[in-house]
Structure 1
Amino acid sequence: MLELEAGEAPLRRVRRPGGGRKWIADLDPGLRPALLALVEPDERGDPMSPLRWTVKSTRTLARELTRAGHRISADTVAALLREEGFSLQANAKTLEGGQHADRDAQFRYLNEQARAHRDAGQPVISVDTKKKEVRHDAARDE
């Protein structure tokens, strides 16, 4: 305040470079590997895994990480996931039909193809299509 009242030009920065709170990922080197271990895509039939997507919510991940000794908020989990190339999407509620006997094999094949194209520098687009049909849901009519 004295400097301003004396007519001196205001400083460009208030803090010195490097000042302020340190980023949690820098303070806790085990955090990022622990997070990635929780969301690491598995190949049980998830067509989105090569595209770095997780069905776990950031709140759930933050809770699991905190239980493991890494104090972190859901917002920070989201920021770390974005840094790692994950897409944050909400789950959609759907009515599921029966499972095809070779479903896991089909998705493993799709994952391998997507990974090969991605590793070759080619774009990978995932499209989930379903046949539209009218269904009668007796539970909904009650």
Structure 2
Amino acid sequence: MARLRLSVQFESGARPDDWPLSRPRLRRLILASLPANCAQAEINVVVMGTAKARRLNRDYRGQDHATNILTFPYTQTPMLSADLLLCMSVIKAEARQQGKRPDHHAAHLIVHGVLHASGMDHQHKSDADAMEWLEAAILSRFRIPNPYA
């Protein structure tokens, strides 16, 4: 199993009380999402407000709206290093719209972000199918329903 160095930060506009995942659960989700050949990981989870999520999404992806997660990978295997920036207000709104529990949706996005940091993407249908299958498999180990079902 990989060694994980995890930090969790709450920026202005984000309230720690809104974050639905305990640190131990967050740690287990990340470890379960790392590739088998990853010996060590350093993951920074940053929970941000809507304004910052919108600004970063506009600056880095050219989309002028707040987003649920942005992943910034720095290195991959054998040492994976990445920042996962999440916007809880967007996550809660999406969970409500999709009839999901906010903690399940946040867990899904953590898994999704770690897979992106590991080099996976969903630009092509075959890649998206593989990524969605892996996300569902990882989440099922935590008794979280398939987010794509």
* TM-score using structure 1 length: 0.24
**TM-score calculated relative to the size of structure 2:** 0.24
- Return the structure number with greater strand share: 2
Question: Larger radius of gyration, structure 1 or 2?
Answer: 1
